[in-house]
Chains A and B, each alone.
Chain A
Amino acid sequence: MSDNGMTIHLKIWRQAQGATSGKFVDYTVENVLPEMSFLEMLDILNETLVQKGEEAIEFDNDCREGICGTCGMVIGGVAHGPHAGSTTCEIRMRQFKDGDTITVEPFRAKPFKLIKDLVVDRSAFDRIQQKGGFVTMNVGSAPDGNAFPIPKDHADHAMDAAACIGCGACVAACPNASASLFVSAKISQLSWLPQGEPERARRALAMIAQMDAEGFGDCSNHGECEAVCPKEISIGNIARMRREYLKGALKG
């Protein structure tokens, strides 16, 4: 579509597996087209590194269309980069201009242990989910799908929260490394639906207790999480989570 390639300078965090520290390494990529994705630019860089006999830069990625939640880097100081409402893989090079220097770092947070280069361990999210992010019912015992009418706005609120892809950008952006936006999205989704009702109190208490146990910090309403969330999950969910927690604590 375009003929003019850009030259992009990169400062990318490199860290060997098992190492306690890493460093920024400078790279330059030529002939970068605006319609290329950020990850495609890194692919090109990796091709040249391998050709030179150097190890490729490791970064997690999979669907490359913003839905699987695998990718995640801090690009130019912002989790998932400069385009609001996008994952790293959805960022196109049209967001940058010829000659730009871009720093690329992993999602840093104490509960996200760095594995290698830009790859971090986000398994804490799984352990939080396992504490109560579900409806306790076995396959086979469901009533008809239309047995319980759900007002459209409730279903829409539930869907807004359910859109979370579990990427961890909210944690990386938060000065306290809080996972509140992630946890609240799941609690909130199920609190809008009649199916979530019986376990409401237990769910909120258990998931929040695990979030604390994993070492995530407290939420102090900075709002950075909402600003970087690729699915634009509202910080209003955190307020809702707090109400769920209080209600649960009073019941308990």
Chain B
Amino acid sequence: MENLYIHIFLLALIVIISVFAVSHYRIIRGAILLGAVSFLVSISLFMLKAPIAAMFELSVCTGLITVIFISVISLTNPVYAGQKKINEMSMVKKIIILFLIVAVCGFFIYLFDEKNINWIPVMNDAQKTVTTKDSLWNLRHVDLIGQALILLTGIFAVVVLFKKGKEEK
């Protein structure tokens, strides 16, 4: 039961920091906050006894991706003053909405808890003993092709949307 409250607290924190990350007027701070979100997700995964997933979340999302984000953002221009003002003005609203989201989530969790719903059994023991090799290759061959495709799509997205062509110049 105590674990459940820690999970709820972590989830609430993840939601709050995520909202701040996507709505912050300074992109660099947004990237750092996203790194913090990944870190909290890693803790949550460790607690849920998924150490492989937690390790990857910590090393790739918290570490590598944050470094890439910060490096790229450092090369771009800072935000203009007007945008900063708009964001500062809406901060109070953001906090109120966040508290409302957390309260609503908490209410639903309380309801589920009270109603004693017949939760379904969690995955069997065989699934808990998967090795890194299994989870990376043996179990998810198909998704590796998917990852290659999405990586290439990301590259083309950057080229199409951010690089100026001859005609645009």
- Say if A and B assemble together: no
B residues lining the A interface (CB < 8 Å): none
